[in-house]
Structure 1
Amino acid sequence: MSMDFHPQQQTILLVGTNIGDISLWEVGSQERLAHESFKVWDISAASMALQTTLLNDAAISVNRCVWEPNGLMLVNDIVFAHPKKQLCIVTCGDDKTIKVWDVVAGRRQYTFEGHEAPVYSVYHHLLENIQFIYSTAIDGKIKAWLYNCLGSRVDYDAPGHWCTMMAYSADGTRLFSCGTSREGESHLVEWNESKGAIKRTYSGFRKRSLGVVQFDTTRNRFLAAGDEFQIKFWDMDNTNMLTAVDADGGLPASPRLRFNKVGSLLAVTTSDNGIKILANSDGLRLIRMLESKSIDKNRPLIVNALGPVGNVSGAIAPTVEWPDRVPPAVSINSWYYGQQQIFYVKPHIADDGDKVKSWEIPDVSDLSQMKALRVPDSIAPSKVVQLIYTTCGPALLALTASAVHKLWKWQHGERNPSGK
């Protein structure tokens, strides 16, 4: 139902499902790092109607899960915000309101009212040190709210007049929305914020969509949307669709998708409850660097790269290389599946007996939580100019000022049977 890449660890993918599961995946090794089931924070504080629903229907869908900007925590719904330098989450729902909550204490800080229909999505944005929230309702109304509680500052009509989601380009200068009408007509547009009018309408949605189309932006250059069992790509400055790919098939009618923060990996849901990862050349290098030698050879793993190819015989399909370094004028005929170059991961769901790794970033609140360790060194001391973990963290590698590399590996033992 929802995916979000970690803001710093570019191959860590957060996934929320329609049965209430929340998982972390390392897409390079195809390992599930952590798994939790959805829980209501304080069930006693919930309304009786919600408590009754939870008792009668245990299958709770995680419609949205996202990382906090620093990657230290995540929420199930909906977005993070920082009004008055305080970390908060913003939620919306069928009560037609938008609420802002203190993350630590769980107290409600703000309530915005004004929508006349259930609120479908919210999007927090910072513009020239001014924080505000966009909200969209299922009647197609788009509103914007400041934290002074003076009511909505804008009132747009989304094309299609139904479910719509908003997103800015990476530099925060261009606003886009994508949604689908009740009749299945999908619309991807760029907005002129100062005029409250549509600036561009992107073409390429030829058939009636079977679900609400989701989209994402990457860098300041490309748009991607899941539709017609495909992923469709646009250049932000060109309303004509750049290309469409089916990722070797197996996609649902309206696949959900998400770019990582640097735009090198694209996660796409599959019809068999799996995830495919598409990689450009930067993403492919990242994946290859992190690949573990212990990957099960029987798992469906196809690694390819996207880029220009010469002297290719046979049928080939066009695709797009999405980093900023792509030449400004992108010809659809100049980018191809070079050598079947898509990176595809179908997650291996651990059996009940499998041991799931825990992955936590604890907060260090005082010096008692920190520890100094002296590692053995039989070589003459020399200044360390760089110190890093090796891939997957089983060893430390140091570069000294005398141009000598030093490697320390963790010892196997009762407290550390894996040697990591």
Structure 2
Amino acid sequence: MKSDFKFSNLLGTVYRQGDIVFSDDGKQLLSPVGNRVSVFDLINNKSFTFEYEHRKNVTTLDLNKQGTLLLSIDEDGRAILVNFKARNVLHHFNFKDKCYQVKFSPDGKLFALATGRFLQIWKTPEVNQDRQFAPFVRHRIHAGHFQDILSLTWSPDSRFVISTSKDLTAKIWSIDSDEKDLASTTFAGHRDYVMGAFFSADQENIYTVSKDGALFIWEYSAKKTEDDEDEMEDEIDISKYSWRIAQKHFFYTGQAKVKCVTFHAKSNLLVVGFSNGEFRIYELPSFTLIQQLSMGQNPVNTVTINESGEWLAFGSSKLGQLLVYEWQSESYILKQQGHFDATNSLTYSPDGSRVVTAADDGKIKVWDVASGFCLATFEEHTSSVTQVQFTKKGQVLFSSSIDGTIRAWDLIRYRNFRVFTAAERISFNSLAVDPSGEVVCAGSLDSFDIHVWSVQTGQLLDTLSGHEGPISALSFSQENGVLASASWDKTIRIWSIFGRSQQVEPIEVYSDVLALAVRPDGSQVAVSTLKGQITIFDIQEGKQVGNIDCRRDIISGRNLEDRFTSKNSERSKFFTTINYSFDGMAIVAGGNNNSICLYDVPNEVLLRRFIVSRNMALNGTLEFLNSSKMTEAGSLDLIDEDGENSDLEDRIDNTLPGSRRGGDLSTRKLRPEVRVTAVEFSPTASAFAAASTEGLLIYSVNDSIFFDPFDLDVDVTPQATIEALNEKEYLNALVMAFRLNEEYLINRVYETIPLSEVLLVATGIPVVYIAKLLTFIGNFSLESQHIEFNLIWIKSILSAHGSYINLHKNNFSTPMRAIQRFIGRIVKDVTALSKDNKYTYRFLTSTDGSVIPEGENNEMPDGDDEDSEDEDEVVQSEDDDESGWIGFEGKDNKLPVGNNDDESSDEERI
């Protein structure tokens, strides 16, 4: 079992607060997610999250024009400079004040920073200057505003900066001392906060926008007098020129206020976001309204526009929503939204390509692991969804909720096709699905019974009685169909659902059972107890075979009101969720604390401990007591300072008192607490996911960058491999490439082998390299354009070595899922391409001089007839009843089914 897992991505959260920024090429969008930064690749449909963390939530960030340096700043003014290309942290710096905005100059040599009411100009660190101990050097500091600065804008030539403030003014500043006289102007006249000020493309005009919806257009002109009309001077007198208001325009939005504004100088587009969720696009200086749309009822907190002026990006912090809108075609490039409330459960699809999450907001979201985007959202549940689980084939998803229903979802057509309810209305908190997909079981805290339904008929088949306390967890064995249940009565029970006798003997645990996991082969069951133990039992004999003491491994963290360190805290010294790895050799565990622990089951030792979050804005992340912040009245961090804010919107508290689930409901104000509600290993055994307060954390093993030779000797070199390839010794060259385990070499040999030799090479390759070859094809084919070539390779390998793979299923689980993921991705594109070009094919075949007669021969190949009712219908393949392979009706189109475009949700990436 590999233990070198590293943080790889953050799903489930797309935007929290702060600025969003486009890269200079307009292909990538940077969004702050809590104390991390995520990057969405809008062209290649991918996303990733930087591994580094801030101490507080990120409020502002910017990327230089060259796309090499990323500067992000949190709420306390602590900045982190990152190499954007290599994703490495270069430097930490503390600006010691709240920073509202940071902007790199267009030439990249400087960056401007708004800290409080001061404007600071800093030099951008460069490679050719030796600043090892002081990479940040301050160039200039400007003071002139009387209140906090809200926004900054650079002039296109990097000579001037415009700042806007809460003191109802905007000011223009010069970078050079020689031009100080030219840029010592204050733009006054607005009656509310100035939210933004911008230069025109020729720098002849300046546009200022205030919070109350007023737009002023300023121009640099001289005051006309009678002497000037009589005399035409040859030289212009600069002293007579100044910035004056040329035009005034108003948005007339009623009670709505301007929340954000941006301007694209090249196309003269002004984009304004309002507090009622509306955004407008104007053309300046004519002030022509081009479009007016709404993205919901919540405020638009940030807006940005890419370099070409085609894509607009919006962020709404209350809903965690992120939009990228193409205004010319009036279509969404990206429309993503995270869960509004805490995530309760997660589950991997059998091929490991998707993760499904359920949350307190009653929504179920399907996430693509590779791209990081949400593919679909189900909203039929009327209350919190407590657990989700796939069937073994991965086409059906089940969910339980406290609204008293169990729902079955079709993930081919993305719809709810079955609802299961009990005889009385009870809330379900646990769920288990039989591997065959015929039976679904659910448990509740309201009832001590386990309810069993038939998936085909939807009827309640049985009620399993025996537990003397609420049911806390259920789990089916994937091999023998045995059901394990855990309860607060300090027992676990093993049920044979399909057996004749339902009498079972309870297994005593001597403590309240919080979580349960059955080993994939069905031989053992592991339980997590309230005393901080993970106890392992043998299912056949009903005896304890192992015990892991977890109390010393858990970092519970201290809350702000605690007067002790985390070491002395007894809070959450237990795990509430555990999961077995595919081989049953490791267990990953998480709970209401700041730790995710990976344990080795045979040796009962801790392999790795992962820190969930270092965000000090959450309760439970601190370890040590800071006595300087402790007073007789409690911690200084608990003092509510919102009433001192200058803005009315910041003073008003709209949150419900005690509204966070799982806390002390007697307290009026509750702080978000770090916790892990669900963990699960990926079926590919190379990753695991954890649902936490910050979002869905993905930890994976990335061994592609390491040189890991296999069965290497002196004669095996890259040069010898190329020579064997040139001499057409394809099998020998492929084996040597795998021995060297160099990806570029394997790729070259793989693509050089002629199509006529593929079957011969696949038949002769040693069985020890089959898993490596299948894994390579599965990963390579996702980026490759040679679809048929890859499919021929896969068919040849399975035809030659199918019996060996069937006898060693446990060694080929990861490669086969990689192959299945590849085929699942291309099938949607292939079917969509066939449907879109149906009439083109008919036209091309009818232009050869012959007319296709109407009648029974006027059919499209492969069942693409226009009048066919079951055009998209899929049938189960009779060759393999376990791997989830499906084929389209017609000729040998054996492909797994991916997402159906016609049934996808509105949050799918367009």
* TM bracket (short chain): 0.3 to 0.5
Higher relative contact order (CA 8 A, sep 6+): 1
Q: Normalization by structure 2: what TM-score?
A: 0.23
Higher helix share: 2
User: Structure 1-normalised TM-score?
Assistant: 0.47
